[in-house]
Amino acid sequence: MRNSKRTVAAWGTGTILAATLGAAPAMGASAGPQIERGRYVALIGGCNDCHTAGSAPSGGKVPESEWFKGDSLGWRGPWGTTFAPNLRIYVRTMTEDAWVKAAKTLKTRPPMPWWALQAMSEPDLRALYRFIRSVGEPGAPAPPYLPPDKAPAPPYVELVLPPAKPGK
């Protein structure tokens, strides 16, 4: 089924996969309170659902050494096709203050629930940043965004949205 097109009907965007469970200790990470808080925020925020390949289908049973490396599973809709980026690469390009500012102003394409990231407290964002930076080497980037007229290679999830209601 890896190469089959999957269709998911959705009324809107948001978190459509179950929250990730089960965490292994960070490889080489200090078990300090900021790192532990960041791990907790990542788990309850469902970051691994999209940003860690295989996490949602396995019920979160992916080694922490693989967390946040992005995914080649595409999310296709009227906006085009998006791929969950490699957060390890993303945070390595910025300071902690720059990460907090970016998270508080982020607006992206679906299915990323950017409004949830904006709602996080500054201490939680700082802890998340430190945890992401603690999990290991960055790995490879995820595939780039594809515009609506470009078909993605499988696997991808196609979000079929209902027609817009008149007057909205």
- Reported as a single tens digit per residue, the pLDDT across 77-93 is 999 999 999 999 999 99
pLDDT given for residue 99 in this prediction: 98
Burial class (CB in 10 A: 0-12, 13-18, 19+), 51: buried
Q: Are 82 and 74 in contact (CB under 8 A)?
A: yes
- Mean pLDDT value across residues 104-117: 96
pLDDT given for residue 111 in this prediction: 95
pLDDT given for residue 78 in this prediction: 95
pLDDT given for residue 168 in this prediction: 64
